[in-house]
Amino acid sequence: MKKHQNFSSAGHKSVNINARTVGKLAYSVFRLAFLISVGFVVIYPLFYMIITSLQSKYAFLNSTRVWIPSSFDIVNNYKMALSCLNYQSSLISTLKNGIVSALLQVASCSVVAYGFARFEFKGKRLKGFFLLLTIILPDMMLLIPRMANYSKLDILGIFGFFDRLTGVDLRINVLNSAWAFWLPSMLGVGLRSGILIYIYIQFFKGLPRELEEAAWVDGSGPVRTFISIALPSSGVVIVTVTLFSLIWHWNDFLLSGMYFTENYPLAYMLNNLETAMQNKGYYFVPTQPESMAFAMAACVLFVTPMLLVYIFLQRWFIESIDRIGITG
């Protein structure tokens, strides 16, 4: 009788182990299939863009879609794309306006975030509410007021008051110059600064206070503590914030189109590629082979720099996402 019970319990255990094994195997297969599907959805457009930019117009006439084009016209496609984008001038404008703005924004947002994370001050809740509004509300709502302000930039109304007293207008027009991007970035109110400040806040809240408190006991003030303790510990999150800011400035075409009348950055030129192609004697028609090849080549030229930056910073970016977390 006991032997029969032992065999029965052993059989139940074997069935349970087999069921768990099958369940784990099914879950692994489902997860792998899901990841492959998501990867295909993400990677295929990029693959299609690259392949289309390489092929000739005769390859488009082939009704059978193949992974490798039957004929190539790489030089002509990319030569036309470089010409339509005015690539050298546009790239210089993008680097001057976007990259410098991103670096200024990364620095200014860290200062604002450290104040929110570490200190109590009057009106903190109200200022935090306005910070939240900058995240929720779109940048387009402030576009017209900013343009009006930048056309006659004043400092706390001092120049306007001087103008009323003396008739000498000292207000500066910063439109059509890089200062239209640099100034808000320096003051922590640049492109989507609220999101960057919030990321910094979450990171600073997670830093141990012991080192900062020891520095305060030794007589360090808030500025010195921030520079010598908090900032050196923030290398990982700085990489993430920098990457976000770089991508946002790189992709921006709306503000560039409103602030500039010449020397447009790459994003604006790509957004107006149809007009540029018409000026070169080509009309952008999605069904026209040459149009698609030129357009895809232009997209490759636009995407490649930021893709290389992300590949270079990928390890630090993933580490930062793991460390930041979300705290109350």
Mention every residue, 6+ apart, whose C-beta is less than 8 A from residue 325: 202, 206
Mean pLDDT of the chain: 79
Please report the pLDDT score of residue 167 as a whole number: 64
Burial 173-185 (b: 16+ CB within 10 A, else e): ebbebbbbbbbbb
Asked if pLDDT for residue 171 goes beyond 80, the answer is no
Asked if pLDDT for residue 169 goes beyond 80, the answer is no
Helix (H/G/I), strand (E/B), else coil: 212: helix
Predicted TM-score (pTM) of the model is: 0.76
Asked if pLDDT for residue 6 goes beyond 70, the answer is no
Comparing 170 with 223, which gets the higher pLDDT? Answer: 223
Please report the pLDDT score of residue 168 as a whole number: 62
Asked if pLDDT for residue 132 goes beyond 50, the answer is yes
pLDDT in tens, 302-315: 999 888 888 887 77
State what percent of residues in the chain have pLDDT above 90. 4
Q: How far is CA 277 from CA 61, 116, 285, in A?
A: 22, 49, 11
Please report the pLDDT score of residue 300 as a whole number: 92
Asked if pLDDT for residue 63 goes beyond 60, the answer is no
Please report the pLDDT score of residue 302 as a whole number: 92
Asked if pLDDT for residue 277 goes beyond 70, the answer is yes
Please give the radius of gyration of the chain, using alpha carbons only, rounded to the nearest integer.
Answer: 28
Please report the pLDDT score of residue 156 as a whole number: 59
Asked if pLDDT for residue 68 goes beyond 50, the answer is yes
Asked if pLDDT for residue 3 goes beyond 60, the answer is no
Asked if pLDDT for residue 203 goes beyond 80, the answer is yes
* C-alpha to C-alpha distance for 242 and 221, rounded to whole angstroms: 27
CB–CB of 276/297 below 8 Å? no
- Interval 146-159 mean pLDDT: 70
Single out the residue of 156, 139, 147 nearest to residue 175, CA to CA.
Answer: 147
Please report the pLDDT score of residue 55 as a whole number: 84
CB–CB of 182/104 below 8 Å? yes
Comparing 320 with 259, which gets the higher pLDDT? Answer: 259
CB–CB of 169/163 below 8 Å? yes
Asked if pLDDT for residue 327 goes beyond 50, the answer is no
- Interval 115-132 mean pLDDT: 85
Confidence category of residue 301, pLDDT binned at 50, 70, 90: very high
Please report the pLDDT score of residue 2 as a whole number: 45
Please report the pLDDT score of residue 215 as a whole number: 80
The lowest-confidence range among 150-164, 199-213, 214-228, 274-288 is: 150-164
* C-alpha to C-alpha distance for 149 and 173, rounded to whole angstroms: 9
- Interval 122-148 mean pLDDT: 80
Comparing 114 with 155, which gets the higher pLDDT? Answer: 114
Please report the pLDDT score of residue 326 as a whole number: 44
What are the chain's domains? 86-271 (1.10.3720.10)
* C-alpha to C-alpha distance for 133 and 144, rounded to whole angstroms: 18
Single out the residue of 100, 249, 251 nearest to residue 183, CA to CA.
Answer: 100
* C-alpha to C-alpha distance for 279 and 54, rounded to whole angstroms: 23
Token output for 35: 């990841």
Please report the pLDDT score of residue 328 as a whole number: 41
Query: What are the start-end ranges of the H helices in 207-253?
Result: 210-217, 222-225, 235-251
State what percent of residues in the chain have pLDDT above 70. 81
